[in-house]
Amino acid sequence: MAYQPTKQEIVKEILKSGKDPVYFINNYCRISHPMKGLITFKTYPYQDDLLRDFNDYRFNVILKARQLGISTITAGYCVWMMLFHRDKNVLVMATKFGTASNLVKKVKAMMKNLPPWIRISNIKVDNRSSFELHNGSQIKATSTSGDAGRSEALSLLVIDEAAHVDGLDDLWTGLYPTLSTGGRCIALSTPNGVGNWFHKTYVDADNMDNDFHPINLPWDVHPERDQAWFEKETKNMSRRQIAQELECNFNTSGDTVIHPDDLGKLNSSIREPNYRVGHDRNFWIWEKYDENFSYLMVADVARGDGSDSSTFHILKLETMEVVAEYQGKPSLDLYSNILYQTGHEYGKCLLVVENNGIGISILEKLIDLGYPNLYYSIKGTHEFIDSTQGETNNRALPGFTTSTKTRPLIVAKLEEFIRNGLITLYSGRLFHELKTFIWHNGKPQAMRSYHDDLVMSLAIACWVRDTALQTSQRDVEYKKAMLDGMFLKRTQMKTTIEGMDGHNKSFDEKYSKEIKQTTEFAWIFKG
């Protein structure tokens, strides 16, 4: 016969359990063990600390490894909150309904397996995705689609596998007001790359820039796991899987188009530009024009709705080194002038402009201005022809067309160049775009709420350099000029524009930095 405590003991235990979730879970919550069956849940020290954090902080963001029992601990906390507090409204949310409902099932199972005398409130309503106690407390599961949870005042919001929820930035905007009356939030997940809501929330919490309390639980917090366990566990796992499942590594865990190891190599070259010039100081220059090199300039034009930026890269053709970069939101006229002026300053380099949307307008302006070295191709083939031929060939199309057919090709070429170490970049903002450029439903694209303008112009540059220029064999002399000098002798090349100062002035002039740059880069300031 099971032990039956006295009424006095019951009151004492109820009071003690109601004050301390750690005590309650370790003494009265039972879980299903795969080998031992139904057993009392005996927590580890890191799990006890987690329960105390749930009580001490309103908002907790948990970066965790797999198989640490964090979901079970969270379920135990939900049981404690609902059982010993009246009218608590708990919502469990995940990208898939099944994930959220599994946690609710754990809560329900724990509740039903409590000793009858401590179950001070019984289940009143029991549905597949929710249940309610007689004391008014309730819990339900939902997916992150639609307006889930937005109309309710919540006591506790649990976001399970938060790093894998698409569009959580927007969801959180709608959910946050539901916690305004003192509600709590537990966001838990393994990492899934950078740039998503979970990553940003955790990093900001770690820097004390938001209201969340950060908790990091890698694989080795478990007292029964050592290096031998780790080596055995990771024997057949990829680097990405190890980072995601065990190491809590944001940078290596994501499904980025560029492999994390290759991103790591790129990161070593990132540095500040030598110059930040232009009307908005968004034109970054690492190296000025050098007459000993040929250059390629590739521009991606903004859609015009204000959501993205117009960009361009300038690369050395011989080394594929990105020596200059622009990202901003100028008017069409100003952007056209910037491209025209910059192209001249870099040796009248080959200028490739994406011709999608309003890119055509930019190309028309450049043609009207008389830019001498625009990229043309034969319609439907992307077979490169020079400006002279392009202006007289009725099958020629100015600029580069990015379509559903060409986008995967140029992205693949970018990945190939980076993987093989054939390109050098210095830009931190470009590197950030690469970190948030992911595979989504089999398509390469920027992570939600991020941009890929710089990435796409660089991808076009790689494709043009390796495909269009390499396969253009019809005119050997022209190809030689393209790769070695473009026009006549470099020593005779005029790189300044009539009525403007070029940027070939001495750097020893004793002006202030601002006056010096305004003079030295007059072509971009006047653009």
| CB distance 323 to 285 below 8 Å | yes
Q: What is the mean pLDDT of residues 166-182?
A: 89
If asked whether residues 270 and 245 sit together in one domain, one would say no
Residue at 38: amino acid letter? L
Q: Where do runs of H (alpha helix) occur along 268-331? A: none
Share of the chain above pLDDT 70, in %: 84
Residue 38 lies in a domain: no
Q: How many residues does the chain have?
A: 527
Please indicate whether residue 518 or residue 187 has the higher confidence score (pLDDT). 187
pTM of the model: 0.65
199-203, 385-389, 463-467, 495-499: least confident range: 495-499
| CB distance 270 to 428 below 8 Å | yes
CB atoms within 10 A of CB 177: 12
Confidence of residue 128 (pLDDT cuts 50, 70, 90): confident
pLDDT, residue 244, reads 82
pLDDT digits (tens, 9 = 90+) for 307-363: 788 999 999 998 999 999 999 999 999 999 999 999 999 999 999 999 988 899 999
pLDDT, residue 512, reads 55
Residue 383 lies in a domain: yes
Confidence of residue 518 (pLDDT cuts 50, 70, 90): low
pLDDT digits (tens, 9 = 90+) for 496-506: 333 323 334 33
If asked whether residues 212 and 81 sit together in one domain, one would say yes
Domain that holds residue 297: 260-525
What is the rounded CA–CA span in Å between residue 234 and residue 231? Answer: 5
pLDDT, residue 497, reads 30
Residue 16 lies in a domain: no
If asked whether residues 267 and 238 sit together in one domain, one would say no
The CATH code of the domain that includes 140 is 3.40.50.300
- Span between the terminal Cα atoms of the chain, in Å: 91
If asked whether residues 321 and 459 sit together in one domain, one would say yes
The CATH code of the domain that includes 483 is 3.30.420.240
Residue 393 lies in a domain: yes
Confidence of residue 475 (pLDDT cuts 50, 70, 90): very low
pLDDT, residue 474, reads 41
pLDDT, residue 303, reads 74
Sign of CA dihedral 494, 376, 317, 338: positive
Residue 192 lies in a domain: yes
Q: What is the mean pLDDT of residues 259-267?
A: 86
If asked whether residues 199 and 293 sit together in one domain, one would say no
pLDDT, residue 294, reads 93
Element counts in the chain: helices (H) and strands (E): 21, 21
Confidence of residue 509 (pLDDT cuts 50, 70, 90): very low
If asked whether residues 176 and 55 sit together in one domain, one would say yes
pLDDT of 433 strictly over 60 = yes
| The two three-digit tokens of residue 269, written as one number | 């070259």
If asked whether residues 401 and 438 sit together in one domain, one would say yes
pLDDT, residue 492, reads 36
Count of domains for the chain:
2
pLDDT, residue 146, reads 55
**Residue that is written with structure tokens 């009858």 in the block:** 116
Question: What is the pLDDT of the chain when averaged over all its residues?
Answer: 85
If asked whether residues 189 and 209 sit together in one domain, one would say yes
Confidence of residue 25 (pLDDT cuts 50, 70, 90): very high
Q: What is the mean pLDDT of residues 184-196?
A: 90
Q: What is the mean pLDDT of residues 421-435?
A: 93
pLDDT, residue 148, reads 60
If asked whether residues 353 and 387 sit together in one domain, one would say yes
Residue 14 lies in a domain: no
Task: Using the 3D structure, point to which of 194, 220, 253 is the last residue of a domain.
Answer: 253
Confidence of residue 511 (pLDDT cuts 50, 70, 90): very low
If asked whether residues 517 and 467 sit together in one domain, one would say yes
Residue 346 lies in a domain: yes
Share of the chain above pLDDT 90, in %: 56
Residue 22 lies in a domain: no
Q: What is the mean pLDDT of residues 83-111?
A: 93
